[in-house]
Amino acid sequence: MPSVRVALGDRSYEVLVENGLIARAGEAIAGLDAGARAAVITDGNVDAHHGDRLIESLEGAGIEASRHVVQAGEASKCFTAVASLCSGLAAAGHDRRSFVIALGGGVVGDLAGFVAASFYRGVPFVQVPTTIVAQVDSSVGGKTGINLPEGKNLVGAFHQPRLVLVDPDTLTTLPPREFREGFAEVIKHAAIRDAAMVGELATLDPGSNEVPADLIARNIAIKARIVEEDEFETSGTRALLNFGHTVGHGVEAAVPYGELLHGEAISLGLRAALFLSERRAALEPAASRAVLGLLERFGLPLQLPGHIRTEAVLDRLSRDKKFAAGQIRFVLLRDLGDAYLSTEATPQDLHDAVEHLRS
């Protein structure tokens, strides 16, 4: 099976990618020696499709498992859900000899990872991502967290998983909108680190929920190499993964959670970042058109809904973690595959970029 190693010293782990892997998850996890009791954290939608298979696999490998189900959606990334889950784990008899399994998309992975980082001051956890966003991005790298009313992911911890199990078959159960939104992160990876992938993505059928395991592994490798260079975001390299996310998170936070899916907001953020890359980094318009063409191909939005005020977006993004000591840090492209972290963007640039999304 395709696999990617994330080399982080004593925090290193493997990401395994194989169709049907959930049914064999217990065998893979048993080899970790993470504990004999697992708390599976998932949401109602994912549990209906994959929960029983995972629990059966765990029990078949001699791992006792409890199931903890949260409401699907971004609203579950909150302190209330963390408190409820921690209480549920304690009531089920879990302690520091237990471990957490995150079964779901990016919301479940972020939430369950934060619970694992906090419960008994930290227990091991395993990621079993079931969406494209989670499989190619959020399940790898150790970022966990929850949202505040003031912005996304403002509370969290770095807590690397012990193992990531990616089963591309889980994508076949996604509704079309949730399937397509994940490609915003895939397109982002191609734009910042793999120009050849831009052309290859143009050959995929957006109407098919089947994604080649090798393509998923290739995206994971891009994320893994960047994380290895800058695990705790100290050198600036890991910030390259935020291409499209500064404005994207501002857009996402400017509307009620769920109105725009994460990938849909990031699509708008990518268009804004391309606009600024042309203005500040001399990116060729043809390169922008190639990326925008992919976003359009996968049905991702490129125009800001009229009811979202520019001032609301700018207010939200000004609180984003990617602003250091009040300085604007913005990821730009010189060319496809050549991203860098710039401090040249001005408040006027950001205003113009958001306004550009109305055209």
Kindly list the distances between the CA atom of residue 23 and the CA atoms of 50, 68, 115, 215, in Å, as whole numbers in the listed order: 9, 19, 25, 22
3-class secondary structure, 72: coil
Reported residue count of the chain is: 359
Task: Locate 112 and state its tokens.
Answer: 């369950």
Please choose, from the candidates 253, 250, 355, the residue with its C-alpha nearest in 3D space to the C-alpha of residue 306.
355
In whole angstroms, what is the distance from residue 294 CA to residue 79 CA?
Answer: 36
3-class secondary structure, 271: helix
Range list of β-strands (E), the chain: 3-6, 13-17, 37-43, 64-70, 99-104, 125-129, 143-148, 151-158, 163-166, 323-324, 327-328, 330-335, 338-342
Identity of the amino acid at 28: A
Catalytic residues: 121, 143, 185, 223, 233, 238, 242, 245, 249, 262
- For 188, residues 6+ apart whose C-beta sits below 8 A from its C-beta are 241, 243, 244, 266, 270
Are residues 32 and 126 in contact, defined by beta-carbon separation less than 8 angstroms?
Answer: yes
Please choose, from the candidates 50, 11, 13, the residue with its C-alpha nearest in 3D space to the C-alpha of residue 220.
13
Please choose, from the candidates 274, 288, 295, the residue with its C-alpha nearest in 3D space to the C-alpha of residue 349.
274
In whole angstroms, what is the distance from residue 241 CA to residue 244 CA?
Answer: 9
